Structure 1
């Protein structure tokens, strides 16, 4: 008995149109990258001084969490990835200012250069740390973005140093903060070299 051979069906545009699925990941990534570009490059090019304050409070008032969630998957050496890390750092400082102040205090005498670069008031209480992190993020629109990244990296390094000398944080928590510092610093150097996209 001979079998007839048929050409396999070639799925065309109509076939794919019938597939029900989620949002195209490539489009989501593109939108997240575009939003990051507009927030950093577009904000800096704006002459409106209020842009800095709007950007600073975006996470609190305008639902940046959705975009930030998409940024969370972006590589650390990208604009979107750098913004994710900055907003993550700010959110943490605002959520746990007392713990942050304690960790920063424990690290500041051991990471002198980073403490100076971070620019935190002496002594660093919870309110001073909130002000510092807000000032750093305000710099996204008003100063060199590389400076913003390097100051945030220095702050995270002081905190990582402090965590390493306190009994409570685990080694994994210390390592996470150190990695955050290293990623922000690398992004800052990429920005200085005009390679941060």
Structure 2
């Protein structure tokens, strides 16, 4: 049973620094890609630990959930878009990307979700109301990210994966309907579906690695070298 959040009297909870690039920009020789990569992974792990700490108050968790609004998607992309999938940074990037896509194209995503929910029992894990509207999916992705920071991290990753898999199934259904009269659009949508299925698998693999205590803060053998 988790401790009540923010219950420790007199503790001032500080938010972690999200922009490790600043630590290297003014060094002689400029940015060291390996050091930036390592720092970005460390920051991702610290963000999760910050939210999971029982002393973190709800305002801190809310800030973490809405982190894109504070720092921008471009900053996140510089930090984590190229991170290996089974890392904290890789997982956070995929979840925040799902959040932003849901907010940006909510009605279309709701249409895909309704189509995909017929194909997968994953909708039960994902947790959306049926049939969902855009606002329901926005509520869902908010709950998934809240779970990352104040719930069971593995379950939150699995819910994110289930959500992605249902949407991908809906995209596949729509792509099949487009094939006869717009094959180019059908191929583009099928490509998106395949990528989203891969995202779902990666989030599920990350959940398994976390439960087995195999989730690294960094993976030196995969650091960029140039």
TM over 0.5: yes
The separation in 2 between residues aligned to 1:29 and 1:37, in whole angstroms, is 13
1:94 match: secondary structure: helix
Which position in structure 1 is the counterpart of 2:203? Answer: 184
1:129 match: secondary structure: helix
Which position in structure 2 is the counterpart of 1:7? Answer: none
Root-mean-square deviation over aligned CA pairs: 1.7
Deviation beyond 3 Å, 4+ runs, structure 1: 62-65
**Is the Cα contact below 8 Å between 2:80 and 2:89 reproduced in 1?**
yes
Moved more, 187-196 or 62-71: 62-71
Between structure 1 and structure 2, the one with the greater Rg is 1
Q: Which runs of 5+ in 2 are unaligned?
A: 1-27, 179-184, 217-226
Q: Which runs of 5+ in 1 are unaligned?
A: 1-19
Moved more, 124-133 or 138-147: 138-147
**Is the Cα contact below 8 Å between 2:165 and 2:196 reproduced in 1?**
yes
- TM-score (ref. length: structure 1): 0.85
- TM-score (ref. length: structure 2): 0.74
Q: Which among 13, 27, 37 is matched to residue 29 of structure 1? A: 37
Which position in structure 1 is the counterpart of 2:113? Answer: 104
1:81 aligns with 2:100: no
Aligned length: 178
Written as runs of structure 1 = structure 2, the 5 A alignment for 1:113-128 is 113-128=121-136
CA-to-aligned-CA distance 1:11-62 (integer Å, 9 cap, x gap):
xxxxxxxxx7440011211210111011112220142122210101110123
CA-to-aligned-CA distance 1:137-178 (integer Å, 9 cap, x gap):
011221011011000000111111111111355321111111
Which position in structure 1 is the counterpart of 2:193? Answer: 174
**Is the Cα contact below 8 Å between 1:163 and 1:169 reproduced in 2?**
no
